[in-house]
């Protein structure tokens, strides 16, 4: 088996002249840096429209893309904006200010839409996009309604909007321009992303996308498919998703996502899931399914409960679903996020379909004993950390003095001073993980750079700033790691 190394880097965290990473020239430069390092995988977070808390795991749609990733410079390049319209914004900020980014980009996208209508360029390409994406019309209507209703949760909309998806009684002609604008934005998003992905593939780099298993209530998916979720007569969830109390939380985690009506989904031949995966398989080369265990069993919390304490484990039709997936999409590449304390049946389900699971250095490396957690990991993805972890150096700084000594002794770290320790320790751990038996070895870009907790992307259980806001200013420090990473990969049997 051939191991493949890669990096986890959200698009939002890329350097950019416009306050947030996008599909512009710096994304292409990032691919070139990965290629120079010998990396073969770029893992991204969900690119869907960000919802509550700017979390990519609470999106307005599991099919659509967020307009913040659209490159203004590329709109100039194709003649939809004038060079005078494009000017830098928050380019030196170390965090993303999502509100300001949207305020800056939205007028430019609206101007590009106006120019698109006037010029009549790219109409054949646009018509093909509309024809080839059956989710698009419902999403464009949903987002138009949402904007009309001050971005309120759709369950709070007046009935004429809330139930339009079933009644179709509201005349949409007066909203035609707004609906067409939303379709145009998606057209541009897909156009730019498809070109960027092709560039990555040309450099022999696969893109790993991330598929949240659950959907946010405030999404076009739930609004347009109400029968596929456990909702009451007012469209509010009767049960919600989460995980029960454990070592990390006395009250568990109440995520609040509506649960699937699995019986109804099975009656439809799992069409929604097949369509969702097919669409994402066109955007990405590999799909990581977050919280895979819910295909086996899921924690069912009554919506009236304020915590996740009260709930029951329910079985999902995982085998029937995966049988259907591989019958309909035989070439699909799936990675199962199987972290945590799981029952054996989850691993049996994973292994039945030969799905790679996950191991995380911070969770599985035993500081005091012979490390056995990374044995038998041929069909695994090994991470130094994920988007939910502290950075390697941030994690190291939380260890007790005794465990810090254990870790430095294990990797023969003799450097003095925090900067030298950080450099030598992260390089030792990168070298160690690259030598492990695995299908993929993935490093968050923060770990390659040896950054501390200030570069942490997300802290689970917390909502809002500073989650999801970290970003790079430039590639200066990353380019300094190219020689080390490339040499280490070459000597690690990859």
**Per-residue model confidence as pLDDT tens digits over 160-184:** 999 999 999 999 999 999 999 999 9
What pLDDT does residue 246 have?
79
On average, the pLDDT of the chain sits at 93
Interatomic CA distance for residues 78 and 56, integer angstroms: 28
User: Mean pLDDT, to the nearest integer, of 140-156?
Assistant: 97
Starting at the edge strand found earlier in the chain, the sheet holding 357-360 runs: 334-336, 286-290, 206-212, 41-43, 4-8, 440-444, 380-383, 357-360
- Say whether pLDDT at 92 is over 50: yes
- For the chain, what is the domain count? 1
- Say whether pLDDT at 418 is over 90: no
What pLDDT does residue 367 have?
59
Q: Does any domain span residue 211?
A: no
- Tokens 């928050």, residue located: 90
User: Mean pLDDT, to the nearest integer, of 369-376?
Assistant: 54
User: Mean pLDDT, to the nearest integer, of 385-414?
Assistant: 90
- Say whether pLDDT at 415 is over 80: no
Q: What percent of the chain has pLDDT over 70?
A: 97
Q: For 251-285, how does the pLDDT look when each residue is reduced to its tens digit (9 = 90+)?
A: 998 999 999 999 999 999 999 999 999 999 999 99
What pLDDT does residue 163 have?
95
What pLDDT does residue 414 have?
84
452 pLDDT band, cuts 50/70/90, is very high
Q: Does any domain span residue 7?
A: no
Q: Does any domain span residue 62?
A: no
What pLDDT does residue 1 have?
57
Q: Does any domain span residue 236?
A: yes
Contact 424, 413 (CB under 8 A): yes
Q: Which residues contact 228 (CB under 8 A, 6 or more apart)?
A: 260, 261, 264, 265, 268, 272
Q: Does any domain span residue 271?
A: yes
Q: Does any domain span residue 72?
A: no
* Dihedral sign (CA 299, 303, 307, 310): negative
Q: Does any domain span residue 246?
A: yes
User: Mean pLDDT, to the nearest integer, of 27-38?
Assistant: 98
Active site residues: 290, 337, 388
User: Mean pLDDT, to the nearest integer, of 360-370?
Assistant: 72
What pLDDT does residue 340 have?
83
Interatomic CA distance for residues 280 and 277, integer angstroms: 5
Could you tell me the residue range of the domain that residue 233 belongs to? 225-355
Q: For 469-491, how does the pLDDT look when each residue is reduced to its tens digit (9 = 90+)?
A: 999 999 999 999 999 999 999 99
Query: Which of 40-44, 67-71, 341-345 is the least confident region?
Result: 341-345
């Amino acid at each position: 088996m051939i191991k493949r190394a890669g990096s986890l880097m959200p698009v939002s965290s890329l350097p950019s002249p416009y306050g947030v990473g996008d599909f512009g020239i710096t994304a292409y430069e990032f691919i070139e840096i990965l290629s120079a390092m010998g990396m073969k995988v770029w893992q991204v977070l969900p690119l869907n429209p960000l919802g509550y808390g700017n979390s990519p795991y609470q999106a307005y749609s599991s099919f659509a893309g967020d307009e913040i990733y659209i490159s203004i410079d590329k709109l100039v390049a194709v003649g939809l904006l004038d060079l005078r319209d494009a000017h830098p914004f928050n380019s030196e900020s170390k965090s993303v200010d999502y509100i300001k980014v949207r305020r800056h980009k939205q007028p430019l996208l609206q101007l590009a839409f106006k120019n698109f209508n006037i010029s009549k360029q790219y109409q054949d390409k646009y018509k093909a996009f509309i024809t080839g994406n059956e989710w698009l019309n419902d999403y464009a209507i949903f987002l138009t309604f949402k904007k009309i209703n001050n971005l309120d949760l759709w369950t709070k909309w007046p009935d004429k909007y809330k139930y339009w998806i079933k009644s179709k009684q509201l005349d949409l002609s007066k909203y035609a321009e707004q609906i067409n604008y939303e379709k145009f934005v998606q057209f541009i998003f897909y156009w730019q992303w498809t070109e960027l992905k092709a560039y990555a593939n040309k450099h022999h780099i696969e893109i790993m996308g991330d598929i949240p298993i659950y959907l946010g209530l405030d999404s076009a998916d739930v609004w347009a498919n109400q029968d596929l979720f456990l909702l009451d007569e007012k469209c509010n969830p009767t049960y919600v998703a989460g995980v029960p109390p454990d070592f990390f939380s006395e009250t568990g985690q109440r995520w609040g996502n509506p649960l699937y009506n699995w019986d109804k989904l099975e009656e439809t031949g799992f069409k929604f899931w097949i369509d969702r995966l097919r669409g994402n398989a066109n955007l990405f080369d590999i799909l990581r399914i977050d919280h895979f265990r819910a295909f086996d069993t899921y924690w069912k919390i009554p919506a009236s409960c304020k915590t996740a304490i009260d709930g029951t484990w329910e079985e999902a039709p995982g085998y029937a679903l995966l049988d259907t997936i591989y019958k309909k999409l035989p070439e699909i590449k799936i990675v199962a996020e199987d972290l945590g304390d799981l029952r054996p049946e989850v691993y049996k389900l994973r292994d039945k379909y030969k799905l790679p699971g996950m191991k995380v250095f911070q969770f599985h490396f035993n500081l005091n004993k012979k490390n056995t957690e990374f044995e038998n990991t041929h069909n695994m993805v090994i991470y130094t950390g994920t988007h939910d972890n502290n950075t390697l150096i941030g994690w190291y700084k939380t260890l007790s003095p005794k465990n810090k000594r254990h870790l430095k002794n294990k990797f023969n770290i003799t450097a003095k001073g925090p900067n030298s320790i950080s450099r030598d320790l992260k390089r030792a751990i990168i070298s160690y993980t690259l030598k492990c038996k695995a299908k993929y070895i993935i490093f968050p870009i923060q770990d390659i750079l040896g950054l501390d907790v200030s570069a942490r992307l997300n802290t689970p259980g917390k909502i809002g700033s500073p989650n999801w806001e970290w970003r790079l200013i430039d590639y200066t420090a990353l380019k300094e790691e190219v020689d080390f990473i490339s040499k280490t990969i070459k000597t690690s049997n990859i």
